[in-house]
Amino acid sequence: MSSSLDDKKEALYRYWVDAGIIKDSKLLYAFQKVKRESFVLNVDIDRAYGDYPLGIPHFQTISQPTTVMLMTQALKMEAGMEVLEVGTGSGYQTAILSEMVGEKGWIVSLEYYKTLSDFACKNLQKTDCRNVKIIHGDGGNGWEEEAPYDRIIVTCACPSVPPPLLEQLKPDGIMVLPVTTHFSDKMQVIKKSASGISSKSIGSFSFVPLRGIYGNF
Ligand code: SAH
């Protein structure tokens, strides 16, 4: 990595730590370890540590780094967990999840567009993630074959919570997903427990829309 990329990465890290935005030390380590520059288009490598989304094929985006960190932190992940991701995109969030669960855990990640599932596989080959399965398909249906999951993360805006995802979440599981309202996408943290389902919002964001059966298009 060039020293200028190093400096930009360090500046982002410092911002999160100094502002108290990211407190999970394992997550901060995952950010240090995973090279975001491996997941952006070649023309954007110099901008890999800017705190904004960048374009990837099919008019989709690799999410803003702070958004990736906040969503992952809200998942309260532990080593060995089994995780479903909807919206692989570049594969960057997938690589961060892979670091968080370690070699005893695994990630299944679904991507709607074949161009992007191929793009993510190519990007992930540059890392040493061996606990990741990328699937081309409609993630609104979840992935029954490996269900239930300890954690579910959706990285595209949903009109409402897709019912199969709620069904495929383990008891005591956590799901993080943006749900579209009139003005913005509200990031919902959903917890499933013996006493029922609870949901709270952790802020407003802006995401590309969920496609497919539970999407708008
Ligand atoms: N976490 C990704 C974000 C990609 S943007 C990253 O940081 O790179 C959201 C992605 O969700 C897009 O790639 C889009 O194609 C995908 N997507 C949209 N609807 C989907 C669906 N129904 N199933 C799976 N993926 C979907």
* pLDDT value of residue 3: 66
Report whether residue 117 contacts ligand 1, using a CB cutoff of 6 Å: no
* pLDDT value of residue 146: 98
What are the structure tokens assigned to 161, written together?
């919570």
Mean pLDDT, contiguous 10-residue spans, the chain (217 residues): 84 97 97 97 97 95 97 98 98 98 97 98 92 98 98 97 98 97 93 94 95 89
Backbone angles phi, psi at 5, to 5 degrees: -65, -40
* pLDDT value of residue 216: 77
Q: In which element (H, E) is residue 201 found?
A: strand 196-205
Contact 177, 207 (CB under 8 A): no
For this structure, is 98 an active site residue?
no
Cα–ligand 1 centroid distance for 210 (angstroms):
7
The pTM of this model reads 0.97
Give the CA distances from residue 46 to residues 54, 59, 91, in Å, rounded to whole numbers and listed in that order.
12, 20, 18
* pLDDT value of residue 194: 86
* pLDDT value of residue 134: 98
Residue having the nearest C-alpha atom to atom 7 of ligand 1: 62
Report whether residue 99 contacts ligand 1, using a CB cutoff of 6 Å: no
Cα–ligand 1 centroid distance for 23 (angstroms):
26
Selected catalytic residue, list 38, 63, 90, 109? 63
* pLDDT value of residue 161: 97
